[in-house]
A = this chain, B = another copy of it.
Amino acid sequence: MADRMQELNVQNMKKIHSAAMDLLRNTGVSFKEKQALEIFKANGQRVEGTIVFFEESDIQKALKTAPKTFTVHARNPEKNVKIGENDFVFLPGYGAPFIMDAQGNQRQATMEDYNNFCRLVQTSPYINMNGWMMVEPSDMPHETVHLDLNLSNMLLCDKPFMGSPVSRQGALDGIEMAGILWGGKENIMDKTVSVSLINSLSPLQFSEEMAGALIELARHNQACVIASLIMAGGSGPVTLDGVLALQNAEILAGITLAQLVRPGVPVIYGSTSSAMDMKTGALSIGAPELSKNIHLAAQMAGFYNLPSRSGGALTDAMSADAQAGAESALALSTAVRSGIHFILHACGILGSYIAMSFEKFIIDEEICGMVQSMMRPLALTEESIDIGVIKEVGIGGQYLTHPKTFKLCRTEFFMPTLMSRKNPDAWTKDGKKRIDQIAENKVAKRLALYEKPDIDPEIKKQLIEFVENRKNA
């Protein structure tokens, strides 16, 4: 079929694979974590200092046990999600230190902001999973904030959530809390209830914290995205061709560690690499290179039969303007169309990850709905084409009052809840509002409508106690 974006043929993919194998065999990857080095040694791999070398057979063994598709369980089982093959999920933005308000004022994010994003996720018709560190709360102690984020995820929202990857202890805390939430740790030993984001440190490194968290998460069968974020021309080669090879090596190294810890643990092939802006030297996530990388990384994940992760509604714009809309729509639609399974940052991000915006969350969320709707195939049956109606209406007739139009008009098309289709008069009468201004009003309404999902009071009490105890420890 016609797709003007580049289709990698097997030869292309083998070339990227071989380049990664060359790097893994001859340059190696540094894991700054003792136990990780022991695990690799026990697997018979060459380890020199912190540098681990991989044979192709090590990688192939890991790929054999990594699942193609898996389920993330939610405490409300109706909200379980599948990830892989035809199933994909949208998640909110991740890691922003600031909030950009509707008037263009940037301020430090707080715990209450984080909680409000949990409430928006809970009430979202399109966002399937809750995130983690959607913003970094400045009003909470750094050492224990992961406990508060976990607690909010578990209490304010009953969708599946991302886990805490900050360190080995951070991961263990998340697992303990999930155990409480499921009425006993034994209930989650063979069940994936979280997905955590493990980033490499490009080029070719994994930090102690990330490798430690990965080991604990994998041991407890919790899914990990193994992701590489290379800034082409900064932390990686200036060509996307080279970036594909380098990120492939890093991701496969991380996946191998996960599979050595627990063969069969769900892992996701992740990349959100992009170009460096040549004028500022900063990462550009509104760049078309980001979308190209998404499209190509999705194919590499497919080559290995792995689920894939990319960014979604990403932009360099500092406000929810036309640039934000366009850049976000390009990356998000590329991710969905090109077959990505775990679409992080599907809503809210502004300014190259610097800030989350409540207004942009609401706008991006509707774009998620639109893109999802674009993917829905037509039935193309006798009934759906219905040549009889076309003949009946005939030449120059109208379909508006036809019974079939009445019957289907409320279900056949995507129904926007935000995007404006007002004519000039109605728009003028309504104060000529831009969509970011309309969204501002909508955020307040959504938060007012939010209802906390029910939870067993005993479990809630135990969770809160766990957090208190850990904070006082």
A residues 281-326 in Cβ contact with B at 8 Å: 281-282, 284, 286-289, 291-292, 295-296, 298-299, 302, 316-326
Contact (A2, B289) CB under 8 Å given A241-B385, A325-B326: no
Chain B residues positioned under 8 Å from A336 (CB to CB): 4
Contact (A320, B322) CB under 8 Å given A234-B399, A287-B413, A390-B203: yes
- Min CB–CB distance A101 → chain B (angstroms): 12
Chain B residues positioned under 8 Å from A8 (CB to CB): 1, 380
Chain A 250-278 near chain B by CB (<8 Å), digits 1 or 0: 00000000000000000000000001111
**Docked pose: A296 CA to B299 CA in angstroms:** 23
Interface size on A, residues (CB 8 A): 138
The residue on B at minimum CB distance from A328 is B326
Asked whether any CB of chain B lies closer than 8 Å to the CB of A6, the reply is yes
Asked whether any CB of chain B lies closer than 8 Å to the CB of A93, the reply is no
Chain A 313-351 near chain B by CB (<8 Å), digits 1 or 0: 000111111111111111001101111000000000001
- Min CB–CB distance A68 → chain B (angstroms): 13
- Taking a contact as CB atoms under 8 Å apart, the answer to whether B420 and A317 are in contact is yes
Asked whether any CB of chain B lies closer than 8 Å to the CB of A163, the reply is no
Asked whether any CB of chain B lies closer than 8 Å to the CB of A462, the reply is no
- Taking a contact as CB atoms under 8 Å apart, the answer to whether B325 and A237 are in contact is no
- Taking a contact as CB atoms under 8 Å apart, the answer to whether A380 and B15 are in contact is yes
The stretch of A24-32, A69-77, A125-133, A188-196 in contact with B is A24-32
User: Chain B CB within 10 Å — which of A6, A233, A375, A413 has the most?
Assistant: A413
**Docked pose: A384 CA to B234 CA in angstroms:** 17
Contact (A5, B337) CB under 8 Å given A15-B385, A242-B384, A326-B328: yes
- Taking a contact as CB atoms under 8 Å apart, the answer to whether B241 and A390 are in contact is no
- Min CB–CB distance A214 → chain B (angstroms): 18
The residue on B at minimum CB distance from A313 is B326
- Taking a contact as CB atoms under 8 Å apart, the answer to whether B238 and A387 are in contact is no
Chain A 371-390 near chain B by CB (<8 Å), digits 1 or 0: 10111111111001111011
Chain B residues positioned under 8 Å from A19 (CB to CB): 385, 387, 390
Asked whether any CB of chain B lies closer than 8 Å to the CB of A457, the reply is no
Contact (A26, B412) CB under 8 Å given A204-B396, A299-B2: no
A318 is contacted by which of B3, B330, B394, B422 (Cβ under 8 Å)?
A: B422
Given contacts A2-B339, A322-B324, A323-B435, 19 further A-B contacts (CB under 8 A): A3-B3, A5-B374, A6-B377, A16-B385, A22-B387, A26-B391, A106-B428, A204-B394, A238-B399, A239-B386, A241-B384, A242-B385, A246-B390, A284-B421, A317-B419, A318-B427, A322-B436, A323-B418, A327-B419
